Amino acid sequence: MTYVTESTTSSSSSPTGHTSLTVQDGNARRRKRKNAVTRAVLTFLMALAAVPLVLILVEVVREGAGVISWEFLTQRESPPAREGGGYAAGFVGTGIMMLMAIGIAVPLGLAAAIYLVDYGKGAFSTLIRFVTDVMTGIPSVFIGLAVYAILVLGTGQVISFGGFTGAVAIAIVMLPIVVRSSEEVLKTVSTDMRRGAFALGARKWQTTTRVVLPAAAPGLTTSIMLAVARGTGETAPLILTAFGNVNIVTDFFNTAIGAVPLQIYNGARQPFAPGIERAWGGALSLLVIVLVLTVIARYIGSRASKAHRV
């Protein structure tokens, strides 16, 4: 009897694994169910979060698609109550200010990010991170007010409203985004790549410029485009710096200059239907501009990454 009982017990948990396989199969089924439920919940939440964005895009395209024309892109704006005209002054002004803002914010932001990742130690790097975090949360209207007080009032209006003051305000808005996002991208570059460059005799600045930056090029490009997208749509700083103009202006200093966000703001807050329609067209134009710039930037970044790997 004892032998039979032991034999039975041994056979039920024998190395053939029948019971063990049954338990494993049960665990696998439970894991699959949990994975399916988790995936369904995350998919639902992602779709829920995308609903406002989709609704905004659909509304902007529906209202603005009929406004976009060659006339809208190339002619100055008509009075709010009059049909026709376009945002040519805004497109030119936005392009001028964004080019200047990129020229200010991107070199400074990348330099700060490189310093924080490869050189910065101690209290000074902590201060830089603290200041950039604070700047990220400051309302952009305060930045416009500060630029107005320092550059316009502070110089006795030697520097007045225009493209330069608007570009400075937009650059300040863009700068913390470039710094913090570029810092995180540079941290993803493998330490082994840096050590390999040092082992081959490269100096630190050579490693940064010839190894780290090319390896991080796609991510850095995306970071810059996030900042450009933020800066392109800013309105509040430009009210106090660029001031706005319905005429095409190419001067950088001391002449009020147009901007698409300003024209959208002015068109949307008045009661006339033609002006409101042009505001919808301007909003759609901004969306398309940001989309095109993002696609081009990602393409350039991917090409740079492939060239670096080769």
pLDDT in tens, 47-61: 999 999 899 989 999
* Confidence tier at 22 by pLDDT (50, 70, 90): low
**Residue 97 and residue 49 share a domain:** no
Token pair, residue 171, equals 């650059």
**pLDDT attached to residue 8:** 43
**Residue 91 and residue 126 share a domain:** yes
**pLDDT attached to residue 208:** 86
Domain count, the chain: 2
**Residue 245 and residue 148 share a domain:** yes
Within a domain: 285: yes
- pLDDT above 70: percentage of residues in the chain: 88
Within a domain: 6: no
**Residue 133 and residue 60 share a domain:** no
**Residue 130 and residue 212 share a domain:** yes
* Domain that includes residue 41, residue range: 18-64
Lowest mean pLDDT among 18-27, 188-197, 283-292: 18-27
> 289-308: per-residue pLDDT in tens?
888 877 777 776 666 556 55
Read off the DSSP letter of residue 84. -
- Provide the CATH number for the domain around residue 168: 1.10.3720.10
Report the C-alpha gap between 83 and 143 in whole angstroms: 35
**pLDDT attached to residue 47:** 93
**pLDDT attached to residue 3:** 43
Would you call 160 helix, strand, or coil by DSSP?
coil
Rounded to two decimals, the pTM is: 0.81
Q: Is the pLDDT of residue 280 over 90?
A: yes
DSSP of 15-26: TT-HHHHHHHHH
DSSP of 177-229: HHHHHHHHHHHTS-HHHHHHHHHTT--HHHHIIIIIHHHTHHHHHHHHHHHHH
Read off the DSSP letter of residue 120. -
Lowest mean pLDDT among 7-16, 69-78, 243-252, 262-271: 7-16
Within a domain: 25: yes
**Residue 113 and residue 145 share a domain:** yes
**Residue 147 and residue 49 share a domain:** no
* H or E element in which residue 254 lies: none
**Residue 84 and residue 216 share a domain:** yes
Q: Is the pLDDT of residue 37 over 70?
A: yes
CA distances from 107 to 134, 146, 174 (A): 20, 22, 12
**pLDDT attached to residue 19:** 61
Block residue for tokens 């995936």: 39
Report the C-alpha gap between 269 and 284 in whole angstroms: 17
**Residue 147 and residue 50 share a domain:** no
Within a domain: 91: yes
* H or E element in which residue 241 lies: none
**Residue 161 and residue 289 share a domain:** yes
* Confidence tier at 230 by pLDDT (50, 70, 90): confident
**Residue 124 and residue 45 share a domain:** no
Within a domain: 143: yes
